[in-house]
């Protein structure tokens, strides 16, 4: 079953949003163009409670994009974004996915951040996306969305660990930090079952 996984095309990650990815809106026409080619379309949505601990506003004296020690890990603090029920958490109105079969929400536990569509950052809680896909006999996933060097990247790592083949569409993603993304992509290209789709 040809499957497309769309990561976090939400208003807060687009220009004008609280945590905008530069050029993030430029990938939407590409996604709209290819989506009808798929038998199964699944989307993810960051869905944070207002007091999420990944927000810099929850740490006295800290600013967005600073790193802190948090539950034994080094975590990046972010501006408040994709708060449950807000316009920033909604999918872009420009995204045309009427055939989306399921939406998986992540980042709902205020005590741990969650980049991947499959697990939180500590791999303590599952979104059950892997079980959903395997129940539909999905073996290969095409991936698009935001941001390439965070939620998309960690989703790909978990997908590979779960045994899926992953095809990342270069025209369907944008990164926050280009140098960081180039390093990540170089490492991914050495992994079995990962492919970069450039057209």
- 105 domain-assigned: yes
Pure H helices in the chain: 28-34, 129-135, 153-161, 178-188
Q: Is 2 a catalytic residue?
A: no
Q: Which residues, in sequence order, are bridge partners of residue 142?
A: 4, 167
Q: Is 191 a catalytic residue?
A: no
- 171 domain-assigned: yes
Question: Of 106, 113, 142, 149, which one is the catalytic site residue?
Answer: 106
User: Domain containing 162: what range?
Assistant: 3-49+91-197
Q: What is the count of structural domains for the chain?
A: 1
At residue 74, φ and ψ (nearest 5 deg) are -95, 120
- 166 domain-assigned: yes
- In angstroms, rounded to a whole number, what is the distance separating the alpha carbons of residues 15 and 143? 21
For residues 103, 108, 109 and 114, what is the CA-based torsion angle, rounded to 10 degrees?
A: 60
- 150 domain-assigned: yes
- 80 domain-assigned: no
State the chain's mean pLDDT as an integer.
Answer: 96
> pLDDT by residue (tens digit) across 142-180?
999 999 999 999 999 999 999 999 999 999 999 999 999
Q: What is the CATH number of the domain that holds 153?
A: 3.40.50.850
Quote the pLDDT of residue 156: 98
- 75 domain-assigned: no
Q: Is 151 a catalytic residue?
A: yes
Closest residue by Cα to residue 7 from 107, 77, 123: 107
Quote the pLDDT of residue 199: 67
Question: Of 8, 12, 80, 142, which one is the catalytic site residue?
Answer: 8
- 39 domain-assigned: yes
Q: What percent of the chain has pLDDT over 90?
A: 93
- In angstroms, rounded to a whole number, what is the distance separating the alpha carbons of residues 84 and 10? 12
- 64 domain-assigned: no
């Amino acid at each position: 079953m040809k499957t497309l996984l769309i990561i976090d095309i939400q208003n807060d990650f687009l220009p004008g949003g609280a945590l905008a990815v530069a050029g993030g809106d430029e990938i939407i026409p590409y996604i709209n163009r290819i989506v009808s080619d798929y038998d199964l379309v699944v989307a993810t949505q960051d869905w944070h409670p207002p007091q999420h601990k990944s927000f810099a506003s929850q740490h006295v004296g800290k600013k967005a994009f600073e790193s802190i020690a948090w539950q034994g890990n080094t975590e990046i603090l972010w501006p408040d974004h994709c708060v449950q029920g807000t316009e920033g958490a909604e999918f872009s109105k420009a995204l045309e996915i009427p055939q989306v079969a399921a939406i998986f929400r992540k980042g709902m536990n205020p005590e741990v951040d969650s980049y991947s569509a499959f697990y939180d950052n500590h791999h303590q809680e599952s979104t059950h996306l892997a079980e959903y896909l395997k129940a539909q006999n999905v073996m290969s996933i095409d991936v698009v969305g935001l941001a390439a060097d965070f939620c998309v990247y960690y989703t790909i790592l978990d997908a590979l660990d779960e045994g899926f083949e992953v095809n990342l569409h270069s025209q369907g993603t944008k990164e926050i930090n280009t140098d960081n993304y180039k390093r990540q992509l170089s490492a991914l290209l050495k992994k079995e079952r990962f492919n970069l789709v450039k057209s």
